[in-house]
Amino acid sequence: MKILVSALEHSANVHLKSLKQELSDEVEFVGIFDESLGKPIIDLRSLAIMGFVDVLKKIRFFFKLNDKMLALSKNVDKVLLIDSSGFNLPLAKKIKKKYPNKEIIYYILPQAWAWKKKRIPILAKTIDKLCSILPFEPNYYPRNAPIEYVGHPLLDQITKFKETLNPKVKSIVFMPGSRKGEITNLMPVFKELLRSLHGNPTIVIPKHFSKKEINELYGDLSTFTISHEPHDALYNADFAFICSGTATLEAALIGVPFILSYIAKPLDYFIASKLVKLDYIGLGNIMFSQYKNEPLHPEFIQKDVTVQNLLKAYNSYEKEKFLENSKSLREYLHHGSSKRVAQIIEKA
């Protein structure tokens, strides 16, 4: 079976690797994905962008790539789209229009419930199998929509969870993001914050960065222990300071108390604030607030990301309450998703 895969993000490919382990050896990937999974048509590093402004700069490039994926869809058995709705939803429409009988599976759905709810009927009409990783998401779709909660992919990848916390913080992990803009925005704040903290600091750096990129993005790291394994670093830490994104949900599930910080480009933040109507930006907070009317962890955005605010939140943190809520969130998500998605893909 030949599958056209469109997985543009690093996090999407982490989940794709777990999924591939559940698929039979007869399944072959073509399209956009990490090179460790086959022979992609493009290097993922060329797709790493941050925010609306960067997208506009490369829009022609993405149009051409989209057309190339449409051409490839002719000779595949099924199509698997993962996340990245700005690229994948237009691609799905093109494929469905040209090849109406081609089965399209969407894994890690666009957050249409948070913004652009008008996309929901389009998704329900265009996609043959909607694989939701959020338990509350199917409630936003029509009853006859082909949507199913399949579990959450992080529960396929995280194998160790905290059951107790150290009363004294001895180890602190910093995760300033995986995109270059995120890192350069947060590193000065994190370094200044570190001067007021006690505990051995670890910084998590994505594996794909070269030594030159690390020097340019992070600067002097002589005071940090460097890790390339986020799950291990989080499990071994007593506290964490994390950029918004998948890492915040990883920390929430593992059970390490943390604070979310995020600084976007001013124009990107302005556009997002007009489009997205959410009380929180952290994935853990979004999910936890669905069944408990409160946040799971503190979060600071834009001008509120200051050393003073982070330090105050750190010193007043209710760590034991967080741990209990973390266990509750794991129960809410139930199980991993890879096995069920593999069954959906291989079903005749």
| Average pLDDT of every residue of the chain | 91
60 vs 318, residue with greater confidence: 318
Q: Is residue 293 over pLDDT 90?
A: no
What single DSSP character describes residue 100?
Answer: T
269 vs 210, residue with greater confidence: 210
Strand pairing category for 28-32 and 147-149: unpaired
258 vs 84, residue with greater confidence: 258
Q: What is the pLDDT of residue 327?
A: 97
Tell me the mean pLDDT in the region 272-300: 83
How many beta carbons lie within 10 A of that of residue 36, not counting itself?
10
> By three-state DSSP, how is residue 49 classified?
coil
Per-residue pLDDT reduced to its tens digit, 187-204: 999 999 999 998 899 999
Cα gap 230→210, rounded to integer Å? 18
Distances (CA, A) of 101 to 7, 77, 91, 128: 22, 10, 15, 10
Q: Give the lowest-confidence range in 108-122, 124-138, 204-218.
A: 108-122
Label residue 281 by pLDDT band (50, 70, 90): confident
Cα gap 280→290, rounded to integer Å? 11
Q: What is the architecture of the domain spanning 2-149?
A: 3-Layer(aba) Sandwich (3.40)
Cα gap 99→71, rounded to integer Å? 11
Q: Is residue 235 over pLDDT 80?
A: yes
Strand-pairing partners, residue 3, are 29, 78
How many beta carbons lie within 10 A of that of residue 275, not counting itself?
11
Domain ranges of the chain: 2-149, 171-333
- Which fold does the domain 171-333 belong to in CATH? Rossmann fold (3.40.50)
- Are domains 2-149 and 171-333 of this chain identical in fold? yes
